[in-house]
Structure 1
Amino acid sequence: MTPLTETEILSHLAQDPVMARIIAETEAPKIFNDYADDVYLALLESIVSQQISVKAADAIFARFRALFPDGYPHAEALLLKTTDELRSAGLSFQKIKYLQSVAEFSLTNPIDRAHLDVMTDEEIVQYLIPIKGVGRWTVEMLLMFVLNRQDVFPIDDLVIRQRAMRAYGDQTAELSGKALYKVLHQIADNWRPYRTTACRYLWRWKPTKE
């Protein structure tokens, strides 16, 4: 089956009138893949960036990589670093444990594209979440931005939920918890099989004040 062009994908999403308006109001999201399909490095970066600003995360990750002669934290080399050495980059004790967990996992479980590409999205989620510090949201970001999966709906992302609730207020008003999640999933079902693109627009969309 020939993949759809971006225009065809947007035409498909625009069958949902609300999403059509969001697309019309929003500049096309730029697609970046900073890791050139390097799942291992992307997981390390995602852990470093947890719960801190982008600017702080970039600075810490750069210092972390500078600890290694070639600028790449190969698993074996990472596991040989002392806690003090890793702390010098600005990493917390907890994040150090998480980074070590990624390294340990990668030494016994392949995480290259050839191994992951044959798996479904959910299989990849279940394969990677045993790593300490890696949850569903982290893997979903990996699916969207590194593995280029087309139909990911990261409902646990706060911005996605808030923007969807704003856009579909008549359907989500006064809902919370499981009831809200159920309705949001139903809304997103209209975007299949291109929920990733729809979410890229939701992230970039800036709703005007009424």
Structure 2
Amino acid sequence: MRRLLLLGFLAFLLVWASSPLMAQIQEGSPSGAQARETVQGENWDPQEVYRRARLLVDKGSLRQGLDLFLQLREQSPRYRPLVVQRHICQLYERIGDISKALEEYEGFIRRFPWARDRVQMLMRMAAMAEVALHDLGRAWRYLEMIPEDKVPPGDMAPYLFNKGYLLEKMGKKDEAVEYYRRLVEEYPQTVGGFWAKERLKELTQNEVSGGQERDTGR
């Protein structure tokens, strides 16, 4: 039972930066084909198109709202570019097209490297790559794009745990242990610090058990 709780917590912590992810995928998955939403040239008003796109999303017509945001980006690239790009990223995520969502998030990071939520966005991307696509290498690459001195203090414990846990899953136990130990030393009172201690215990026990088996086999 304890092990099941641990695994459940690890999965939760990995999606710390994207808690609505799975619920939104289920909520936003279209049940049937939807007509594409477009605006004709003579009626083009970027402010009105933006308003209509937001209204469609609020009503649950995610795909149609996405179509309008894509059209808005193409035809009025200077109209609120950061906000429009963010909507596109999030809508691809919500309808469950994670590969396309990550492609758009990567475009966001390249285009707006100064965005205030860049760190949280990269952590969100890492969670999607690991949880939805099971691509550990890609998840690690996103975390490596985060300069440690740019991580807000309140996000440091999850950041360190995520790096340690990904390294552990990739088979790099020694490197994972370094992150876990640092987390336990620097953030002992956090939830991440507690579970880092648990991971260290298990990894240490495995090493001891493995050594005993080798000694017995001689």
Under a length normalisation based on structure 2, what TM-score does the superposition of the two structures give?
Answer: 0.30
- Structure with bigger helix share is 2
Query: Which is greater in Rg?
Result: 2
Under a length normalisation based on structure 1, what TM-score does the superposition of the two structures give?
Answer: 0.30
